[in-house]
Amino acid sequence: MAEYEMILTEVEGRVAIIRLNRPKALNALCDQLMDELGQALRGYDADPGIAAIVITGSEKAFAAGADIKEMQGRSYPAIYLDDFIGKRWEAVTYVQKPVIAAVAGFALGGGCELAMMCDIILAGDNAKFGQPEINLGVIPGAGGTQRLTRAIGKSKAMELILTGRMMDAAEAERANLVARVVPAAEVVAEAVKLGEKIGTLSAPSVAIAKEAVNRAYETTLAEGVKFERRLFQSLFATADQKEGMAAFAEKRKARFENR
C-alpha cells in the first residue's frame, strides 16, 4: 500500500513538470518513487499535448540518491533477481520527448545519475552534484561511472567517484555537466521556458535530434555521422521540413504541424 504520492505533477502550457516529493528524506529515490516517476514519464511521453518534461525536486534537494535505508538490508540474490536499479530506474532513458532536469540543492548518487539520464541539466546556483557511494562501501549503480565520465572526463570523474566529493553548481558548469546555472528559485521556471521554446519547434525534428545526439554516446564517430546523415535525410519526408525551409525563404515564422 502506497504511503503517499511521492511525485507531484502539473502542466504549464505544453510542458509537464514532475516534482519529486519526499522532502523529509531529501527525495531519496525509493522503489515507490521510481515506480511513480516511470509511470508519469510514460504517460507524458504518450500525451500529444506535451512537448517536453521537466523533472525537479525541492530547493534543498533534487534527490539525495537511492534510498539507503530501503536498500541497506537487501541481499545479492534479491537485488540480482529484481534487477535492482535496472528496469525501474531506466524509464527516463526511454522517453522520446526532451527531458530537462531542473536541479536545486543536492543531486547526489542516484540523484546525480537521474539528472544525467535527462537530456539537459539546468542547475540552481545552490546545486551540489556528487557520487558519494564510495562512502557507503559501494560504487554508483545507475550509470554514474559511465555518464559522469563521458560528461566531465576521466580525471575529474575519477576524483569525484573515488573520494565522494561534491561539486557546486559553478564547478559543474565549468566541467560541462550542466547547460547553465540560474538562481535556485528560478530553475524550474527557466526549465519550463526552455521546454516551451523546444515545444515551438517541429516535434519529429526534436525527437530525431535527441536520438542522434544520444547515439554519440553509443557508437564510433564514423557510425554516428552516418546515422545522423540518414536521420537528416529522413526529415525531408516531413511536412515540417517543407514548412521550415519555405518559411525561411519567405521571411516569415514557421508554422510546424509536427508531421
Ligand X SMILES: CC(C)(O)CC(=O)SCCNC(=O)CCNC(=O)[C@H](O)C(C)(C)COP(=O)(O)OP(=O)(O)OC[C@H]1O[C@@H](n2cnc3c(N)ncnc32)[C@H](O)[C@@H]1OP(=O)(O)O
> Which residues form the catalytic set?
66, 110, 113, 133
Q: Determine the straight-line distance between the first and last CA of the chain, rounded to whole angstroms.
A: 43
Q: Which of 11, 25, 79, 189 binds ligand X (CB under 6 A)?
A: 25
Q: Are 105 and 127 within 8 A, CB to CB?
A: yes
CB 128 → ligand X: shortest distance, Å? 8
- Residue 108: closest CA among 38, 60, 49: 60
Among 140, 195, 204, 244, binds ligand X (CB under 6 A): 140
- The CA distance from 35 to 89, in Å, is 8
Please choose, out of 2-10, 25-33, 45-53, 228-236, the segment that lies near ligand X by the rule CB under 6 A: 25-33
Q: How far is the CB of 58 from ligand X (least distance, A)?
A: 12
* 79-138: contacts with ligand X (CB under 6 A): 85, 106, 108-110, 113, 132-133, 136
Number of other residues whose CB lies within 10 A of the CB of residue 252: 9
Q: Are 127 and 112 in contact (CB under 8 A)?
A: no
Q: Is 208 in the site for ligand X (CB under 6 A)?
A: no
Instruction: Give the burial string for 192-211 (b: 16+ CB within 10 Å, else e).
Output: bbbbeebbebbbbbbebbbe
CB of 135 to ligand X, least distance (A): 6
Pick the closest to residue 212 from 196, 229, 197 (CA basis). Answer: 229
Q: Which is nearer to ligand X, 49 or 86 (CB)?
A: 86
The residue (of 26 and 209) whose beta carbon lies closer to ligand X is 26
69 interacts with ligand X by CB under 6 A: yes
Query: Which residue's CB is nearer to ligand X, number 136 or number 231?
Result: 136
Q: Which three cell numbers stand for residue 237?
A: 519526408
Residues of this chain that interact with ligand X (CB under 6 A) are 25-26, 28, 64-69, 85, 106, 108-110, 113, 132-133, 136, 140-142, 144
